[in-house]
Amino acid sequence: MSFRFLFACLFIFSAYAGHSQARSETDQLLSRLNFGSSLPAKLCAGRSVVLYDASFTPDELLGAQKYFQQAGIDAVLYLDIDYVLSGIDPLHTIANYFSSRNILFLILLQKSGKGYQITITEYNGTPDLADKQHTAWKLDDSSFSSLLQAVYRFCLSTQKKESFLINDVPEKNPLPHFFRERDERYTADVRIVKTAVPRMGNEADDNLLIEFLKDKFPFKYDLVDPQLKDKELEEKGYRLVLRFVHTRGDVARDMLGYDVSQTAGSLLTTYFLEGAQKVKTIPSKKMIYKFYLKNTEYHNIFLGTRWDADENWPEALRNYILIMRAELRL
């Protein structure tokens, strides 16, 4: 690793540690909302999905569903938000799934040091999930039951109840497969085709990404708009695209098709130190980045032969690329 790249990594790691909360995927979603003083129209006439923090207990979610049922909010599905906001590929799968179930509203349940927050917004039918063109509403309270009671009162006073066949308990049906096919190996195609590398979305991270690619990625590639779909990338001549998920370690393994019965409280991550492969443990509930290459035509993903996820994206990317180069003898 060059000194310049090492210095850049240390700079980004410090920035990431200091601003991790502000840069979370949930905060980014909330920043796109257009908050008003009224509940979204027809909330009690359409289907909703509840996205909740992993810290919520089954009893708390059951209590939420009872209040929603009484208020006329048809919450048809409850999802751990770390599955939903984990990356571009999962978001496309989730958006298609929501549309197939005629979802019209999203309900976010969060915990903070001050108590509880509920956010309700219209679902915009895209992988962005919501935007400022659609109405959103939020409420905070130090007590979860008081918060739910307030939502109930708002619904009764401002909405016409049109949903009556509402589930008694939260539904947690298995989500659809996030990826069509998976390989726990690397693809030698990276040596002969052009790879699309989506930008990270901010200048500091993009500069670090460019520095890394120059230093450690001796293949044909272009930096591309992260919003481009697989088909659009294929049409532009990219056979492979580099992607990642950013979520808890246990969630990432589940989404990526690993045997979750083998997922313990800590996960062994393979990394490089002075040219040699080493291992370290990362708690499975920690937020991590896991990179993979994806074929833009067939949509199969190449995860690699080692679990190489890490808590910061530069290290996770470095792990994936260096192990791939070692395995493919590049």
pLDDT per residue of the chain (330 residues) written in tens, 0 to 9: 444 444 444 444 444 443 333 358 999 999 999 899 999 999 999 999 999 999 999 999 999 999 999 999 999 999 999 999 999 999 999 999 999 999 999 999 999 888 999 999 999 999 999 999 988 999 999 999 999 999 999 999 999 888 778 888 888 877 778 888 999 999 999 999 999 999 998 899 999 999 999 999 999 999 999 989 999 999 999 999 999 999 999 999 999 999 888 788 999 999 988 888 999 999 999 999 999 999 999 999 999 999 999 999 999 999 999 999 999 988
Type and span of the H or E element at 93: helix 88-100
Residue 177 DSSP one-character state: P
Residues 6+ apart with CB under 8 A from 257: 177, 179, 182
Residue 291, judged by CB atoms within 10 A of its CB (0-12, 13-18, 19+), counts as buried
CATH number of 32-158: 3.40.50
DSSP bridge partners of 75: 48
Task: Write 200-206 long-range contacts (CB < 8 A, 24+).
Answer: 200/226, 200/313, 201/226, 204/11, 204/12, 204/15, 205/12, 205/313
- Which residue is it, tokens 């129209």? 41
The pLDDT score that the predictor gives to residue 23 is 53
How far apart are the C-alpha atoms of 85 and 328, rounded to whole Å? 32
Cα distances (Å, whole numbers) of residue 54 to 111, 116, 163: 9, 13, 28
Beta strands in 149-286 (DSSP E): 182-183, 195-198, 221-224, 240-248, 266-273, 276-283
How far apart are the C-alpha atoms of 59 and 204, rounded to whole Å? 42
Each domain of the chain, given as residue ranges in start order, spans 3-20+179-327, 32-158
How far apart are the C-alpha atoms of 139 and 110, rounded to whole Å? 11
How far apart are the C-alpha atoms of 246 and 252, rounded to whole Å? 8
Percentages (nearest 5) of helix, strand, coil residues in the chain:
35, 25, 35
Q: 47, 101 in Cβ contact below 8 A?
A: yes
pTM over 0.85: yes
The CA-CA-CA angle for residues 264, 308, 214, to 5°, reads: 165
Q: 11, 69 in Cβ contact below 8 A?
A: no
